[in-house]
A and B are shown apart, each in its own frame.
Chain A
């Protein structure tokens, strides 16, 4: 029983990390560091949550799923435009833009949700959105296993990422812009356009990851909490996966497993008998990411030109 539960949570958390890390992967392959994934997740989650909250009761399940996904994608993409405009057109420092986006994401979502809640009910000052019924549309029970449509979405996106990066003209050009934009420019590739594409795709995947995260396990979300550093965990997954989709999938499973443990460790007698406080398991993914990065970052090979604004005519 508890093994099934462990697998289920591992898969759903891995799906979140996979989606967001793939998002980061597209952005970085185009040459833009996306530290704002955390903020993009929050905004994507907000879009999805609002749709679920305000869809009329009785909407068919499939429509709920599609509209929620679309809203999350749309919000994520729109929000990522901030990063694109600032870092590609205005050549701002990408680290600072990303950090600002993270702060703005959580704060903006909180303000908005509070305003909506208060407007609907003057006594309600919370930043929480409930989606108890809508959530059911995402889940299919297979025996004891709760299948979540996001698991399928994640796998589809993995295939999409792999094929796009390695099998298409677009992918080849995108990666050239992240490695050597001057070379790409010299053969007539529009570096700015490719970087915009990379950032927007990362907004799309980040938004999807955000809604997936707040639907994993709970039926309401308090937006003050943001997404608990999952955007940063996804960055760690991306680095551990060496910016390669298949390796990122492997890394996401590993990190997902550790995150899942904190939900289900009490189901395993030998873990309970260790008598560790539950917070230790909550810390695990973050500690693992520190360790992993400390030991692998020396060897890691990031896209060479990432983080450097591209200026035409500079050598």
Chain B
């Protein structure tokens, strides 16, 4: 009898020193279904996929294709079995054309010479069949993220893969592009392809998947039919407790203006045009203002300008009524601006320092931490770090002396948040503060931001996550290609409207 499953991973166990990443996990993908794999960060999804692609060998368990046991020792084996994957970070060569990227590795050739015409015909036929519009001659660096993703999908189809894995495919897309991707996935499944959809976004799973398998802390929790379940049930399975999706917050009571940015432009490091173009806005006491937008539309450079990491080309910044346009970074830090940076490894922590030294990075020079002769006072630093660890529940192996590098991402982020909030800033700039964190940590961070607001501080949040943009702030400013193209009220706007602004399809003249 023919097996109903395209691929099965049965009782997979994979151990790393000190941790069981996959503990007896079973995943069965039916032919022609869309199957979601749900789990928090660190639940073991990536390890399971690495086992499937032969990057790791499982200690126990077996993999079956069409009911027959198979051995997968490297990605080429997986490819030969018809398994393809769209990685979360695209594996595309930026200065190659779409066509070159699709054929790379399986180039049609005569005696080593490329036969691109043949490849082009096959690609265009696939593109028509599945509604995957691409321009085969465009360079990857010039096309939208959506088209890059379609290129990745075409790569799998060009190789006649039957089992398609999408690793968190929606993280980089606008709502409209997500909609389009869902439709494409449904078309592919209808054509008989089997799809594994890795995600932690419940709404998308409910919308597109037939079944959903849930992992938690390396263990297999169960598989459910999406039509017989609810988002609440799924999240309880994923987290192990009930999670409150809605961010609780009281009404916003904006006070006086704390940050007043006028006509700010910042040069770009990657291209000739300015990354931020003549942007003006204000942030008041007691409100959370969110800069929304698709990654790479100038948000990073805007924050660099505010924090002093990059000089302004034009315009001015006034903070608490004082002009800080040319103030040094330390001046800004000590006068009441806190900054939770986008890249916590690059700008947030010195990874090879201990946790306690990271906690005093911006205030080690204060009298209570440094003696008159210039030596650090070990005991007060230790005490201070211990207090923050206690208050913000920063978990680490050895407490204050743990090297920052040895901590988990969530706890690194908590350490930064503890440090920045404990400075009692008047303005807190938080850039993607929840990036890569699990639901529990996200909840904690959102509570902290709102507590700051309620304490009468100004908060400037930069976020790429739509849920965060809709739930946390009191005002949304949308950035598109370096300009603020819209100001929205999260209480009255919809995700669709927000998406139109983010994609540049809609814009207002914004008066700050």
User: Which residues of chain A have a CB within 8 Å of any CB of chain B?
Assistant: 167-170, 172-173, 175-176, 179-180, 182-189, 301, 304, 313, 315
Contacts and interface: CB of A to CB of B under 8 A. Distances in A.
Contact of A169 (B75, B87, B107, B155): B107
B107 to A, nearest CB: 4
Given A169-B114, A313-B55, A188 B76 contact: yes
Query: Which 5 interchain pairs have the tightest Cβ spacing?
Result: A187-B105, A183-B91, A169-B107, A186-B91, A188-B76
B92 interface: yes
Nearest to A305: B93
A173 B107 CA distance: 9
A172 B114 contact: yes
A187 B104 contact: yes
A169 B109 contact: yes
Interface string B99-115: 01101111101001110
B114 A167 contact: yes
Nearest to A179: B93
Given A167-B114, A168-B113, A304 B94 contact: yes
A301 B76 CA distance: 31
A211 B95 CA distance: 35
B421 to A, nearest CB: 31
A168 B103 CA distance: 12
A186 B87 contact: yes
A172 B100 contact: yes
Contacts of A173: 104-105, 107
Contacts of B55: 313
In this complex, which of A179, A186, A187, A313 has the most chain B Cβ atoms within 10 angstroms of its Cβ?
Answer: A187
A170 B93 CA distance: 15
Contacts of B100: 172
Given A172-B100, A186-B75, A188-B75, A315 B89 contact: yes
A62 B174 CA distance: 67
Contacts of A169: 107, 109, 112-114
Given A168-B114, A176-B104, A179-B95, 15 more contacts: A168-B109, A168-B113, A172-B103, A173-B104, A175-B93, A176-B93, A179-B94, A179-B96, A182-B91, A183-B93, A183-B104, A184-B104, A187-B155, A188-B105, A189-B104
Contacts, number: 64
B79 interface: yes
Contacts of B92: 180, 183
17 contacts: A167-B113, A168-B113, A169-B107, A170-B112, A172-B104, A172-B107, A172-B114, A179-B93, A179-B94, A179-B95, A179-B96, A180-B92, A183-B104, A186-B75, A187-B79, A188-B76, A313-B55
A177 to B, nearest CB: 9
A167 B115 CA distance: 9
Interface string B184-225: 000000000000000000000000000000000000000000
A187 to B, nearest CB: 3
A187 B87 CA distance: 12
Contacts of A182: 91
Given A172-B100, A180-B92, A188 B112 contact: no
Interface in B105-140: 105-107, 109, 112-114
A61 B94 CA distance: 49
Nearest to A188: B76
Contacts of A185: 75
Interface string B8-31: 000000000000000000000000
B25 to A, nearest CB: 21
B359 to A, nearest CB: 29
A302 to B, nearest CB: 11
A169 B107 CA distance: 6
Contact of A301 (B75, B91, B95, B104): B95
Interface in B150-165: 155
Interface string B49-85: 0000001000000000000000000011001000000
Contacts of B103: 172
Contacts of A170: 112
A74 to B, nearest CB: 24
Contacts of A186: 75, 87, 91
B169 to A, nearest CB: 16
A182 B104 CA distance: 12
A283 B2 CA distance: 78
Nearest to A163: B113
Contacts of A168: 109, 112-114
A172 B109 CA distance: 12
A301 B113 CA distance: 26
A276 B362 CA distance: 58
Nearest to A185: B75
B96 A176 contact: yes
